[in-house]
Amino acid sequence: MTGPTSILRVKFLRDSSRDNPPSVGTAGSAGLDLRADIEAASLTIAPGHRAAVPTGIAIAIDMPGVAGFIYSRSGLGAKHGLTVAQGVGVIDPDYRGEIIVWLLNTSTEPLTINRHDRIAQLVLAPFIRPIITPVDDLDATARGAGGFGHTGRE
């Protein structure tokens, strides 16, 4: 195992989720694989469509300054076009409801997930809550207000 560890309290909302808990793929994996805890044997998502997929779990993140972030699984996203619909989902530390993963089919073909398939990954990471401080000016930088593509292609 690599990296620090901490207790993550997981409430299993259905027996089916208890029998198929989140897990890591390897000892060095950063994320816990989340599984589809759907009632039907499978769910098909049409091209360009989204679906809310329950995981059957709720969590309690007890580490101050840490939140949960839901990312696409690289194989599903890159190879098949099934991604987390909003890019990255955020699980606030005070949220205690079921984790629902919204999946988006970005491919040109219908995609089917089966009950208990690994559909996304949960990564616990620190966050910084900003304190908004109004100012009249910002400090100057070499980049300034240069936006997308301002440095050209290289």
CATH of the domain at 104: 2.70.40.10
Residue 90 marked ligand-binding? yes
Let me know: does 116 contact 55? Beta carbons within 8 Å: no
What is the tens place of the pLDDT at every residue in 33-63?
999 999 999 999 999 999 999 999 999 999 9
Whole-number Cα distances in Å, 135 to 18, 132, 138, 139, 145: 51, 10, 7, 10, 16
Domain annotation covers residue 120:
yes
Would 48 be classed as within a structural domain?
A: yes
Residue 75 annotated in ligand binding: yes
Do the annotations mark residue 74 as ligand-binding? yes
Number of domains in the chain: 1
Can you give the residue range of the structural domain that contains 60? 9-126
Q: Please give the model's pTM, rounded to 2 decimal places.
A: 0.87
Question: Residue 91, annotated ligand binder?
Answer: yes
Is residue 134 one of the residues assigned to a domain? no
Q: For a pLDDT cut of 70, what percent of the chain falls above it?
A: 95
